[in-house]
Amino acid sequence: MNFPILSSLILLPTIGALFIFFVRSSSEKYQASKYLSLFISIANFILSIYLWYIFDKNSVEFQFVENREWLLGFVDYKVGIDGISILFIILTTFITPICIISVNATIKKRLKDFLIAILLMETFMIGVFCSLDLIVFYLFFEAGLIPMFLIIGIWGGERRVYSAFKFFLYTLLGSVLMLIAIISIYWITGTTDVEKLYEIGIDSNYQNLLWLAFFSSFAVKTPMWPVHTWLPDAHVEAPTAGSVLLAAILLKMAGYGFIRFSLGLFPLASDYFVPLIYFLSLVAIIYTSLVALMQEDMKKLIAYSSVAHMGFVTLGIFTMTQQGIEGSIFQMISHGLVSAALFLCVGVVYERHHTRIINKYGGLVQIMPKYAIVFMVFTLGAIGLPGTSGFVGEFLILMGTFKKSFLVATIASLGVILGAAYMLWLYKRIIFGEIINNEIKSMIDLKKFEILILFSLVIPIIFFGFYPEPLINSIEVSVGNLLDIYNTNIQTNLAYKN
C-alpha cells in the first residue's frame, strides 16, 4: 500500500480548481469548466467508492494512513480513515457532483469562480474527515469557512453580506477556543497525533476545560441551541448549491468532531457533560420544531428542521451506546441526503417563481406531478417514516437514549410528532389544494437534469431505509472500538478514585 489514495482524494478537487482557474472565461469555456469540474468530482466519487470497497471493515485500526513530516517535525501531516470517516467521505464526494449539476439553473454570474469555490470546499471537507492530527484537522476545518463565506457573500440573496458575516463570526469565535485547546494539548502531551493521543490519554484534570473549548466550536457548527441563529439566515441567503453543501456536509463536520474528538479524546469530560448535551439537544428538538411550524419561508423552515435533526444526532452520540452512536452516524448520512434533497426542491421552485414564501404556492401537484412525487419522498424521509433512511437513524438514536434515560427519550420522541406536523403542513401548503396564484400555472415540471439529481437522492434514501446493512456494517467495528476505549477510561478512573 504505497499509493497515497487519501491524499489523492483530498487534492484531486484542488487540482481541478486550478485547471478551471486557468481556463479563460469566454462564454463557451464556461461550459468546459462545468464539465471539467463535474468530471473531476465524479472521478473523486468513484475513487471513494473504490476506497470503500478495499477498506477492511473488520479492523479497528486506522487504515490507509499517510504520515509525512511537516512543519519542522513539530506537526506531521497525518491522514487515515476508519469505518466512520469513510461514510462521510463518500457522502461528500456524492453530494459535490450533485451540487455542480444543480448549478445549471441557479448561478447566473461568475460561474467559474463558483465552481472553484465548490471544488475547494470538497478538498477541505474530505480533509476534515480523514485528518489524524489535530492541527491538520483544525486547518481543514477552518479553511472550509472561507469558500462557504464567499459562496454566501457573492452569490447570495439580498441580505447576503449580513448573513455571511454572521456565519463567519459565529463559527470563527467558536473555533478560536478550539485552537487554544489544541495548542494546550500539545503542551500537555507533546503531540497532536490523534492515534497517539487515543493511546496515552489526556490527564483528567484538563479534560473538562479542553472539552468545553472543543464543544464551543462544534456546538456552533452543529448548530446547537442557542447558537443556532446563524443557520436559518445563512440558508436563506445562500444559493441552492451552497445550502446543499452547508446542510449536507458542513453541519456533519461538527457531529463527526464530537465522535472523533470529544468522545475519543476526553471520555471523562464527555461523561461529565452528558446532562448539558441532553438538555441542549432536547431544547433543540422541541424548540426548533415549534419554530419551524410557524415559518413562512420554505428555506427557513427546512433550516430549523435541520437544527432539530441535528439535536437528535448530538443526543445519540452522547448516549454512549452502540445503538445511539450508530444511529447518530446513520442520521447524519441520512440527513445529509434528505436535507440536500429538500434544499434542491426549494431551489427548483425558486428558480421558476422567484419566491420562497410558502403562501405564494399551492396546488403544484396539478402542474408539476413529478416534482410532487419526489418532494413527497423527501418529506417522508425528513419525517422519519419506516422504509426511508430517516427512520433507521432516528429509531436507533431513541432506542439508545431510552437505555440511558426514559425521560429524555420520551421528550425527544415528542419531537417526532412535531416533525411530522411541520413537514406535512409545508407539503400540503405547497403541493396540494387549488391553484390560487395564477402565475404558478406557467411553471413547468422537472427538467431532465433535475430529475437526474433528485432521483439520485431518492434511491439511497429508500434503499438504505430498507437495507441499512451496508452502512451499519461499515461503522460497527469502529464504533465498538470507540466505546471500548470510552468504557475502559471510565472504569479505570472509577477504580483510581476508589
Partner 1 sequence: MEYLILFLPLFASIISGFFGKLIGDKISQILTSLFVSISAILSLVIFYKVVNEGYVNNLIIATWINSGSLNANWSINVDALSSVMLVVVTMISSLVHIYSIGYMSHDSHKPRFMSYLSLFTFAMLTLVTSDNFIQLFFGWEGVGLCSYFLIGFWFKKQSANAAAIKAFLVNRVGDFGFALGIFLIFYIFGTVNYNEVFQKIPEILDKELVFIGININAVDLICLLLFLGAMGKSAQIFLHTWLPDAMEGPTPVSALIHAATMVTAGVFLVVRCSPIYEYSELALSIITIVGMATAFFAASVALVQTDIKKIIAYSTCSQLGYMFFAAGVGAYNVAMFHLFTHAFFKALLFLGSGSVIHSFNDEQDINQMGGVWKKLPYTYALMIIGTLALTGFPFLSGFYSKDAIIEFAFLRGNNLGLYASSIGVFTALLTSIYSWRLIFKTFHGSYNNSKIKIDTVHESPMVMLVPLIILALGAIFAGILFKDLFIGQETSYEFWSSSIKFLAPLSKDHPPIWFMFLTPVLVIISIPLAFYLFIKNKKIVHSIVNSNKPLYLFLKNKWYFDELYDYIFVKPSKKIGYFFWKKIDVSIIDKFGPDGISELIKYFSLKAVKFQSGYIYQYAFVMLIGFSILLTLLLLK
Q: Where does this chain bind partner 1 (CB under 8 A)? A: 165-166, 169-170, 226-227, 229-230, 287, 290-295, 321-323, 326-327, 363, 365-366, 380, 385-387, 391-392, 395-396, 398-399, 402-403, 406-407, 409-410, 413-414, 416-418, 420-421, 424-425, 428, 431-434, 466-469, 472-473, 476
Q: Which CB, 203 or 484, lies closer to partner 1?
A: 484
Shorter beta-carbon distance to partner 1: residue 190 or 226: 226
Distances (CA, A) of 363 to 367, 372, 428: 8, 10, 9
Nearer to partner 1, 5 or 292 (CB): 292
Encoded amino acid at 94, one letter: F
Minimum Å distance from CB 423 to partner 1? 10
Cα–Cα distances (Å) from 26 to 17, 115, 448, in that order, read 17, 15, 26
> Which element (helix H / strand E) includes 381?
helix 369-383
How does 93-124 read in b/e, with b if 16+ C-beta sit within 10 Å?
bbbbbbbbbbbebbbeeebbbbbbbbbbbbbb
Q: Is 294 helix (H, G, I), strand (E, B) or coil?
A: coil
> Between 28 and 434, whose beta carbon lies closer to partner 1?
434
Distance from CA of residue 186 to its chain's centroid? 28
Minimum distance between the CB of residue 168 and partner 1, rounded to whole angstroms? 10
Comparing CB distances to partner 1, the nearer of 58 and 498 is: 58
Smallest gap, in angstroms, from Cβ of residue 229 to partner 1? 5
Burial class (CB in 10 A: 0-12, 13-18, 19+), 314: buried
CB 149 → partner 1: shortest distance, Å?
A: 15
Compute the least distance from the CB of residue 437 to partner 1, in Å.
15
- How near is the Cβ of 18 to partner 1 at its closest, in Å? 35
Q: Which is nearer to partner 1, 230 or 256 (CB)?
A: 230
Residue 80 CB, nearest distance to partner 1 (Å)?
25
Q: Which residues are paired to 79 by β-bridges?
A: 66, 131
Please tell me what DSSP assigns to residue 260: I
Across 305-383, the runs of DSSP E, i.e. the strands, are none
Q: What is the closest distance, in whole angstroms, from the C-beta atom of residue 245 to partner 1 in the complex?
A: 22
Contacting residues for 317 by C-beta, under 8 A, at least 6 apart: 255, 258, 259, 263, 277, 324, 325, 328
* Phi, psi dihedrals of residue 67, rounded to the nearest 5°: -130, 110
**Shortest separation between residue 236's beta carbon and partner 1, angstroms:** 13
Minimum Å gap between C-beta 322 and partner 1 is 3
Residue 69 CB-density burial (10 A; 0-12 exposed, 13-18 middle, 19+ buried): exposed
Nearer to partner 1, 81 or 325 (CB): 325
DSSP character at residue 133 = B
Closest to partner 1 by CB, 200 or 414: 414
Q: Which is nearer to partner 1, 324 or 336 (CB)?
A: 324
In one-letter notation, the amino acid at residue 415 is: G
Compute CA distances 241 → 13, 115, 356, whole Å: 16, 10, 16
C-alpha cell at position 275: 446532562
Identity of the residue, 267 or 362, whose beta carbon is nearer to partner 1 in the bound complex = 362
How many alpha carbons fall within 13 Å on the CB side of residue 66? 18
Dist. CA 404–CA 345, nearest whole Å? 37
